[in-house]
Amino acid sequence: MKRSRDVEQLLAANEQLVLGMLRIQSEVQAAEYTLNEIARAANIDELTNLPNRRELRARLQHAIEDAQLHSGSFALLFLDLNDLKLINDTLGHHLGDVLLIETAGCLTQCVQDGDTVARYGGDEFVILLAHCTSRDDALSVADKTISSLNAPKAIGDRQLRISISIGISLYPVDGTDAQSLIDSADAAMYRVKRDKPVASPLPRGLRQRMLHRREANGALVIAALKAQQLQTLAEATLEHEKFILAMVAHELRAPLAPLSLSAEMLERSDQRDGPRLHAIIHKQIEHLTRLVDDLVDVTRIGAGKLHLTRKTLDLATVIQQAVDICEPAMNARTQVLELTLAPTKVKVEGDHLRLTQVFSNLLSNASKFTHTNGVIQLSLRVTGTWAQVDVSDTGMGISANALPIIFEPFIQDEHTVCVNQKGLGVGLTVVRELVEAHAGSVVAHSEGLGRGSCFTVRLPLS
């Protein structure tokens, strides 16, 4: 009878495990889908659906490497729409957007397979002619493009001719890197615009109205510069978000393999294997729980929803509880913990659970990045009106590049990432935010790689 109940319990645990695995797998797939969508959005211009500046630079770099490998050549056309500001200001920005979309379609039809038409920004486009080997061939494509765009087109409820100025650069005659080729074609385009008057797509009366607005448009130039700065910042933020999503998806996926294997073994194992398989399952679930808890804490902190339950605490008691949590891992690595506490009670106002989390995170980090038989030290003392806790180790240390940003979320020192394969790099962020929520401070010190590290926490005395 007892054996039957044990089998029923194992089957029930197995069923819960499988359901949990399916939920985690669904979340990972959703994260991967989101990541793919973000990657696509990062390389495509939203309005014209053409490659954007980032993607153009990548393809241009590839063309340069291919030309260097085969001693080849290619051409770059830099195109600028004439009077797009005039159209935006007199007919409306919506019509200006329609004009840009129409231009993108025409340019795409004027090139061959393997060439790239990209929106460089605003009313500027760039065409990479990957198989064009001479300036005459590039001029032929430019003439074809001008003729195609200059044909009357229905833009909204008006018939307009799209006027454009084009500059040309050749690799390697006009430049051997992406920026010099773009700059050369851009300069050539401005020479064309300066030396050759272009026909306006609008009647003279509308053009005159534009001239009267020149002074007011000075403010728009300043706004455009600020917008470009914001775009650069947004692109950098997007790259960081892509990295974070990839890392979260990877970390959530990692425990699935041992969980899946344990589930399969439970189905065909005898009772003797139960404790070992349960230990594997418990360990992986504990890891997943820790990852999710860290993410939840970072989310709460970012949203300003972190809640503290404050009362007067003996800080030595809090530290001892953190030691009890981390000591098994230290013993497994045969590490030595040297604990030095103040001779008298050190009272602070704080949240017992959260302060325990602070010191257990610091001790866990010290153990994780300290080799077997290493030494970890924790000292508690009173300095003026402050309680000061120093957690130091003889471990891998922190590089000079990582030290200033070690408390930022999702940051891991590249020299130690091979050791910290399990984690999202948010533990120290949680430490900093919890300490500062207690009106304290935390700083990191390290003399460099291989020379250990020290984290100093200061909390106001009660």
What are the pLDDT digits (tens) for 73-115?
999 999 998 877 777 777 778 888 888 998 999 999 999 988 9
Asked if residue 43 belongs to a domain, the reply is no
In angstroms, the CA 74 to CA 116 distance is: 12
Residue 447, both tokens: 């003399």
Residue 272's pLDDT is 65
Asked if residue 7 belongs to a domain, the reply is yes
Q: 426 and 367 in one domain?
A: yes
Last residue of a domain, one of 270, 303, 336: 303
Q: 198 and 113 in one domain?
A: yes
Asked if residue 236 belongs to a domain, the reply is no
Give which of 344, 332, 441 is closest to 388, Cα–Cα: 441
The answer to whether 374 and 336 are in contact (CB under 8 A) is: yes
Asked if residue 231 belongs to a domain, the reply is no
Percent of the chain at pLDDT exceeding 90: 35
Q: 281 and 376 in one domain?
A: no
Last residue of a domain, one of 162, 196, 214: 214
Compute the average pLDDT of residues 125-150.
Answer: 91
Residue 376's pLDDT is 96
Q: What is the rounded (10 degree) CA torsion for 391, 379, 390, 356?
A: 70
Q: 110 and 23 in one domain?
A: no
Residue 252's pLDDT is 56
Q: Which residues of 406-431 are buried (b: 16+ CB within 10 A; e: fewer)?
A: bbebeebbeebeebbeebbbbbbbbb
Q: 200 and 131 in one domain?
A: yes
Q: 268 and 199 in one domain?
A: no
List the beta strands (DSSP E) in 222-326.
311-314
The answer to whether 423 and 429 are in contact (CB under 8 A) is: no
CATH of the domain at 445: 3.30.565.10
Q: 303: how many CB neighbours lie within 10 A of its CB?
A: 8
Residue 18's pLDDT is 62
Range of the domain at 346: 311-460
Q: 449 and 393 in one domain?
A: yes
Asked if residue 235 belongs to a domain, the reply is no
Q: Which residues of 88-102 are buried (b: 16+ CB within 10 A; e: fewer)?
A: bbbbeeebbebbbeb
Residue 141, both tokens: 């494509």
Asked if residue 154 belongs to a domain, the reply is yes
92: left (phi over 0), alpha (psi -120 to 50) or beta: left
Residue 269's pLDDT is 61
Q: 84 and 58 in one domain?
A: yes
Residue 157's pLDDT is 72
Residue 205, both tokens: 């009366």
The answer to whether 373 and 335 are in contact (CB under 8 A) is: yes
In angstroms, the CA 351 to CA 312 distance is: 9
Q: Going by C-beta distance under 8 Å and a sequence separation of 6 or more, which residues neighbour residue 84?
A: 96, 99, 100, 122, 123
Give which of 391, 383, 380 is closest to 317, Cα–Cα: 380
Q: 57 and 94 in one domain?
A: yes
Residue 315's pLDDT is 95
**Residue scoring higher pLDDT (11 or 135):** 135
Q: 339 and 264 in one domain?
A: no
Give which of 22, 25, 23, 21 is closest to 33, Cα–Cα: 25
Asked if residue 227 belongs to a domain, the reply is no
Last residue of a domain, one of 165, 192, 214: 214
- C-alpha 92, offset from chain centre: 36
Asked if residue 425 belongs to a domain, the reply is yes
Q: 189 and 75 in one domain?
A: yes
CATH of the domain at 107: 3.30.70.270
List the beta strands (DSSP E) in 327-448.
336-340, 347-350, 375-383, 386-393, 441-445
Please tell me whether the peptide bond between 172 and the residue prior to it is cis, using omega within 30 degrees of 0.
yes
**H or E element at residue 153:** strand 153-155
Q: 270 and 158 in one domain?
A: no
Number of domains in the chain: 3
